[in-house]
Amino acid sequence: MPDVASSTECRTPTLAVVIPTYNEAENVSVLVDRLHAVLAGIDWELLFVDDDSPDGTAQRIRSIACKHPHVRLLQRMGRRGLSSACIEGMLATTAPYLAVMDADLQHDETLLPEMLRRLQQEPLDILIGSRYVAGGQMGDWDAQRASMSQWATRLGKHLIKADVKDPMSGFFMLRAEVLQDCVRELSGVGYKILLDLFATSPRPLRFLELPYRFRARQSGESKLDEAVLWEYLLMLIQKWVGPMIPARFIAFSLIGGSGVFVHMLVLWLSFKGIGTSFLVGQSAAALVAMTTNFFLNNLFTYSDMRLRGRELFRGWLSFVAACSVGALANVGIASWIFEANSLWVLSALAGILVGAVWNYAVTAVYTWKRPKAT
């Protein structure tokens, strides 16, 4: 009887193009056609990583894959994020060369063959499609978005020890071993995986930037919003402080810091302004700060699992219920210290500290729960 394993041809593509998607149903067909045209003669595969888009992007990709067997889909449930999607996509292929690009048709796919040729023939680790080297262009960006991108680029350059002109580029190709050397230390936060790779690599990366013109988006909406910028800052902070502190905890702590301001403001207005008792003022301040922290964390810290509609109200109720023990400890300890020494500021801060011990843990357990696998 013949050996099935030995008789089966093992095919490993030379190049894998990894494309994260969210609400890009109108673009994927055009993108597949364009890649077919420019990658003719190359053994390649296309791996879409879709974060369960509500516009039917995953279904559209499946229908395309029926006609094009080298098109693959990784559909993620209950989480979002461009960087983490790119990482998971690159890990899901055995190709020795990995390209990352967006699905919005703004990147110039005609550069891919040249990127691959350079990586195969020259001692380089990564090729970057750059808007900021000679010949590159920003395209039709408005002044505000261009200024935001340039500001983020300058900030990111302080994190890496390489003179990369466009570390914010989302269009690049690398050798698979570059990812494998540092994947366990990548933050996976935000939307700029290239910067994360340069900042995390255990050795200096040999790179080359190729100019291209950033195109205008054809359909869909830009993913660049306040949450994306917040995630970018979190990624920078995490790289500065090291991998031992989770980025989500950093976000939670920063928002908790704003909660301290809200707490103290409400306490001052009620205790010193209206003239309530300290116990009443501290209780009101704790509830208001808890509520504002919930909504800010839902918007930023848990943007990939953001609660909406009825789930938002359920989440708020569960957050308040789960944090009630911490709130009781907050009020009780603050009141006890105040009665002992009448230092209301010190008393309030002590109560906040005790209550905060509970809050981070309960958010993941009770409020922003990931959907169960089915």
Could you write out the three-class secondary structure of the chain? Answer: CCCHHHHCCCCCCCEEEEEEECCCCCCHHHHHHHHHHHCCCCCEEEEEEECCCCCCHHHHHHHHHHHCCCEEEEECCCCCCHHHHHHHHHHCCCCCEEEECCCCCCCCHHHHHHHHHHHHHCCCCEEEEECCCCCCECCCCCHHHHHHHHHHHHHHHCCCCCCCCCCCCCCEEEEHHHHHHHHHHCCCCCCCHHHHHHHHCCCCCCEEEEECECCCCCCCCCCCCHHHHHHHHHHHHHHHHCCCCCHHHHHHHHHHHHHHHHHHHHHHHHHHHHCCCHHHHHHHHHHHHHHHHHHHHHHHHCHHHCCCCHHHHHHHHHHHHHCHHHHHHHHHHHHHHHHHHCCHHHHHHHHHHHHHHHHHHHHHHHHCCCCCCC
CA distances from 179 to 87, 99, 114, 247, 314 (A): 8, 11, 21, 20, 40
Ordered structural domains, the chain, with CATH = 4-241 (3.90.550.10), 247-367 (no CATH)
Residue recorded with tokens 């308040």: 320
Residue type, 213: R
- What is the structure's pLDDT at 1? 43
The span from the CA of 180 to the CA of 12, in Å, is: 17
Q: Is the pTM of this model over 0.85?
A: no
Q: Which residues of the chain have pLDDT under 50?
A: 1-8, 373-374
Token pair of 130 as six digits: 């750059």
Q: Could you tell me which of 320, 317, 351, 349 has the C-alpha nearest to residue 334?
A: 351
Q: What is the torsional sign of CA 291, 296, 298, 299?
A: positive
pLDDT at 205: 94
Supply the Cα-derived Rg of the chain in whole angstroms.
Answer: 25
pLDDT at 294: 92
Q: What's the Cα-to-Cα distance from 161 to each of 7, 31, 116, 261, rounded to whole Å?
A: 48, 34, 25, 37
Closest CA to 152 of 190, 187, 203: 190
